[in-house]
Structure 1
Amino acid sequence: MLTEEAGHAGPDRIHRMLNRIEWDADEVLDDVRQYVVDNLGDRQAVLVVDDTGFL
């Protein structure tokens, strides 16, 4: 779980952050795009997104 990876004992802090903070979708998109470019910016790189949880 995300909360376990973050080192929290329960989901309360993460739920509060995700549900009560107003998010600007364009700013989040810009942040994620910049992270991807900075960390995966190889022209030969391939990004695979799989939400099933299976390798």
Structure 2
Amino acid sequence: MGEQDIKGKAKELQGKAKELAGDATDNDKLKAEGEVDQAEGKVRQAADDVKDAVS
């Protein structure tokens, strides 16, 4: 587990929290930001997996 994997998981969790907050407050912008953060977190994790596979 690399640094980017950890940062990716943190970003994904942050995004999930934003998405849930957006749902709870009926704030579509916050919900969308959360979805983007989650996607970014997944990309970071995938990049770390590729880096590990190459190493």
TM bracket (short chain): 0.3 to 0.5
TM (normalized to structure 1)?
0.32
TM (normalized to structure 2)?
0.32
**Which structure has the highest helix share of the two?**
2
Higher normalized contact order (CA 8 Å, seq sep 6+, divided by chain length): 2
Q: Tell me which structure has the larger Cα radius of gyration.
A: 1
